Amino acid sequence: MDTRRALTGIVFVLPFVIGFIAFFLYPFILSLMFSFSDVSVGASGYELTSVGLENYESALLVHESYVRTLTETVQSMLANVPAILIFSLFVAVLLNQPFRGRGVARVVFFLPVIFNCGAVLLIENYDFLTNTLTGGSAASPGSEIVTSLFYGLKLPQGVLGYIMNAVRAVPDIIKASGIQILVFLAGLQSVPESLYEASAIEGATGWETFWKVTFPIISPLIPTMIVYTVIDSFTAPNNRMMELIQNTAFRGMGYGVSSAMAWIYFVVIAAILAFVVWLVSKWVFYQE
Amino acid sequence: MAQPITETHGSDLRRRFEKSKFQGLVWAIARTLLLLGMAFIIVSPLLVKISGSFMSLEDVYDSSVGWIPRRPTLEHYRVVFQFMNYPRSLLLTTLLVTAVSLLQVISCTFIGYGLARYDFPFKGLVFGCVLFTLVVPPQLLLVPLYINFRYFGAFGMGPGVNLLNTPLPFLLMAGTGTGIKNGLFIYIMRQYFKGMPRSLEEAAHVDGAGPFRTFFSIMLPAAQAPLLVIFVLSFAWQWNDYFYTTTIFQAKNDLLVHRYLGVVQDYMLAFREEHGFDAPFEMSTMILNTASLYYIVPLLALFGFLQGRFIAGIERTGLVG
């Protein structure tokens, strides 16, 4: 290792190292300390009094809605992530086909990333006008038709229930898929044309070509996209956990309990992420 | 003898060709319907907002009025413009968000380049930290960050400096690649530079340019496509952020997001003072609705202006490996 080059490299990443320590690691450790303390803030600084596990007890046993919000957040994430991935892969395949207006379609599917996040989404859920104009059915026109269609198929109860929930969540799923669609689309365009030609000569159908050619090549993108989608859904602004933790800190039981809540949440996320990554990395096909 | 065989063979081929042509047409129609339906779901909240913003209160009560207002009015636009203090809040927000996202683009590119091209001790650890910042939910850091900036530089000992209600916390975090989702931007830039040929830098080195000169005058211009991508994402996410913004700027409420989130309350208070009774509930949603248009239209305009290069850029960022 060339010392001069190593020094130059360190200069390049130095801003991040400083920022990481000052605005990430320090608050990270502080938050862990807060979660075990009673925090009182005054004009001359803040004081910590150790209270052991009391904050965790308050969050889990005393707070009236924390446990329910936590289970609901995790449940809706577990239901939505597979749906978002399948949906965005499907749309990417559609948008990869040549047709008129493809450029416009790509822009439209990316729009939610720009305008359907943050403060606008935060208020959307409570908007009376949206409900009146779209007939109140969670802004999902035609969902009744799809529902009756699937009832006719006589599927097992569990599968049917999942599909029903997915249909009801269609608008949310579409809006959460912008980045994933673009990444899958870029992946699809990197599939060499010669492979498609070869499979066409061999007489493969479109379905076979997708599973034998396209899917193995883009499958290395799937773990990254799963991780991205899980994180995105955990930190989405319409996620009620975000609101609950912020309200607890500034208007509720205080900084200590709020930190304990955030830590329980983080540990749950980390456990789920680790499990999902382990599971997915077992069957993904790597080209290298 | 050979004649009938070729004939049947020919017609068989023709039939197959016609069948596939028919299938292709059916598929094209199905695809168009599917895409139109999904596009409608995406665009409909925006259409609802636009249509609602021109409706008078009578139109809202009138159930025979659908999407097109019968007694259109610009009253909501006028009222909300005043209550949001629009010219001022728009200017302040644009200045803050532009400064923050430009800083983020520069710092993330700088850091990503170092990670892609140089070998140094603990490089793996640094990159691991970059990815780690993405996994930790912002809720976890919110309170300590708030306290950190309230008593900045004191590390729990003394009063320190109060940086709240100033743009400094945002600028400091943006400049060090630790702002909103900056780990993702560093990752994108690292992947892009890793995929670039080394010949450019070698040529610059032969010509006697140092590493920083090479970075600023050769590598930055060569990375326009991903730079634009992370600029648009960073701008949009910073513009939409309310989580950090309402926490750091708790006492001041000059920014667009404050005016937007508080516009209903302000309006209701003013209405009550003027008339002595509460404004109808429907009026508050009309106000909020029009305010949300004021809030997102600048962002949509920017995206509309850059969308072509943005979409093309994503396909070239090397996210795909």
Q: For A146-204, how does the pLDDT look when each residue is reduced to its tens digit (9 = 90+)?
A: 556 666 666 666 777 777 766 777 777 888 888 888 888 888 887 888 888 888 888 88
Answer whether B108's CB lies under 8 Å from B177's CB.
yes
How much is the pLDDT for A135?
47
Q: A38 pairs with which residues across the strands?
A: A49
Which of A14, A120, A269 to mutate against chain B (most B CBs within 10 Å)? A120
Residue B3's pLDDT is 45
> Residue A238: inside a domain, yes or no?
yes
**What is the token pair recorded at B120?**
């140094």
State the amino acid at position B82 in one-letter form.
Q
Q: What is the model's pLDDT at position A132?
A: 56
Q: Report the sign of the C-alpha dihedral through residues A227, A228, A230, A234, in that order.
A: positive
Q: How far apart are CA A239 and CA A245, in angstroms?
A: 11
Residue A136: its pLDDT value, please? 43
Residues 144-203 of B with CB under 8 A from A: 144-148, 150-151, 154-160, 172-173, 175-178, 186
Minimal Cα distance from A140: which residue of B? B41
Alpha-carbon distances of B41 from A46, A185, B37, rounded to whole Å = 48, 21, 6
B51 touches chain A (CB under 8 A): yes
Residue B1 above 60 pLDDT? no
Q: Is the pLDDT of residue A71 over 80?
A: yes
Looking at the DSSP assignment, which residues form a beta bridge with residue A50? A37
Distances (CA, A) of B83 to A126, A190, B233, B241: 21, 50, 29, 21
Residue A105: predicted pLDDT: 86
Q: A-chain residues within 8 Å CB-CB of B261?
A: 119, 123
Q: What's the CATH code of the domain at A233?
A: 1.10.3720.10
Please compute the mean of the pLDDT values over residues B120-136 and round it to a whole number: 90
B111 pLDDT higher than 50:
yes
Contact residues, B window 234-273, toward A, CB-based 8 Å cutoff: 236-237, 239-243, 247, 257, 260-261
| Bridge partner residues of A40 (DSSP) | A47
pTM value > 0.90 = no
The confidence band for A237, taking pLDDT boundaries of 50, 70 and 90, is low
Whether residue A215 is contained in a domain is answered as yes
Domain count, chain A: 1
The whole-chain average pLDDT of chain A stands at 79
| Domain assignment of residue A40, yes or no | no
* Residue in chain A nearest B154 by alpha carbon: A45
pLDDT tens for B158-192 read: 667 888 888 899 999 999 999 888 998 998 899 88
The ipTM value here is 0.83
Interchain CB distance below 8 Å, B178 and A16: yes
**Any domain includes A131:** no
Residue B305: closest CA among chain A residues belongs to which residue? A107
Residue A2, domain member (yes or no): no
Give me the mean pLDDT over the B106-119 stretch. 93
Give domain limits for chain B: 1-42, 75-316
CATH of segment(s) B75-316: 1.10.3720.10
Average pLDDT, chain B: 84
Q: Tell me whether residue A27 is in a domain.
A: no
Residues in chain A: 288
Q: Which long-range contacts (CB under 8 A, 24 or more apart) does B297-301 make?
A: B298/B90, B298/B94, B298/B239, B299/A114, B299/A115, B299/B235, B299/B236, B299/B239, B299/B240, B300/A114, B300/A115
> Chain A partners of B307 at a C-beta cutoff of 8 Å?
107, 110
Q: What percent of chain B has pLDDT over 90?
A: 22
Q: Does B31 touch chain A (CB under 8 A)?
A: yes
The DSSP code for A211 is I
Interface of A with B in 98-117 (CB under 8 A): 99, 103, 105-117
Domain interval for residue A196: 61-125+171-281
CA distance B37 to chain A (A): 9
Check: CB of residue B176 under 8 Å from CB of residue A19.
Answer: yes
Put simply, the answer to whether A127 touches B242 (Cβ < 8 Å) is no
Find residues 37-76 of chain A whose CB sits inside 8 Å of chain B: 39, 41, 43-46, 48
Residue A101 has pLDDT above 70, yes or no: yes
pLDDT for the residue A215: 87
Take residue B20 and report the two structure tokens written for it: 């596939």
Plot region of A203 (φ>0 → left; ψ -120 to 50 → alpha; else → beta): left
Digit-coded pLDDT (tens) for A111-141 = 888 776 666 766 665 555 555 555 444 444 4
The sign of the dihedral angle between the CA atoms of A75, A76, A79, A82 is negative
Q: Tell whether A276 is within 8 A of chain B (Cβ).
A: no
pLDDT tens across B190-233, in order? 988 888 888 888 888 888 888 888 898 888 888 888 899 899 99
The mean-pLDDT minimum among A127-131, A223-227, B293-297, B309-313 falls in: A127-131
The whole-number pLDDT of residue B9 equals 55
Contact B120 A10 (CB under 8 A): yes
Residue A45 lies in a domain: no
* Cross-chain Cβ contact A31/B144 below 8 Å: yes
Backbone region of residue A63 per phi and psi (left: phi > 0; alpha: psi in -120 to 50; beta: other values): beta
Task: Report the alpha-carbon distance of residue A43 to residue A4 in Å, rounded.
Answer: 47
Q: What is the pLDDT of residue A288?
A: 38
Chain A residues with CB under 8 Å of B296 CB are 115, 120
Would an 8 Å CB–CB cutoff place A284 in contact with chain B?
no
More confident: B282 or B5: B282
B56 — contact with chain A (CB < 8 Å)? no
Q: Which of A190, A270, A273 sits opposite B320 (nearest CB)?
A: A190
Q: Are A218 and A188 in contact (CB under 8 A)?
A: yes
CB A38 within 8 Å of CB A49: yes
pLDDT tier at A20, thresholds 50, 70, 90: very high
Q: How far apart are CA A109 and CA A104, in angstroms?
A: 9
Spell out a b/e string for A46-67, using b for 16 or more CB atoms within 10 Å of the CB, else e. Answer: bebeebeebbbebbeeebeebe
Comparison of pLDDT for A163 and A78, the residue scoring more: A78
B61-90 residues touching A, CB cutoff 8 A: 66-67
Higher pLDDT, B175 or A145: B175
- Percent of chain A beyond pLDDT 90? 9
| pLDDT given at position A138 | 41
| B41 with A139: Cβ contact below 8 A | yes
Which residues from B are below 8 Å from A103, CB to CB?
308, 311
Half-sphere exposure of residue B307: CA atoms within 13 angstroms, side-chain side? 18
How many whole angstroms separate alpha carbon B169 and alpha carbon A70? 30
Token pair of A136, please? 């109140």
Is the CB of residue B57 less than 8 Å away from at least one CB of chain A? Answer: no
In the predicted structure, residue A13 carries a pLDDT above the cut 90:
yes
| Residue A271 touches partner B, C-beta closer than 8 Å | no
What's the gap in Å between the CA of B75 and the closest CA on chain A?
A: 17
Residue A81 lies in a domain: yes
Min Cα distance B267 → chain A (Å) is 17
> pLDDT tens, B20-58?
778 888 888 888 888 888 888 888 778 888 888 888 888
Task: Tell me, yes or no, if B99 comes closer than 8 A to chain A by beta carbon.
Answer: no
Q: Can you say how many angstroms the Cα of residue A99 is from the centroid of all Cα atoms in its chain?
A: 30
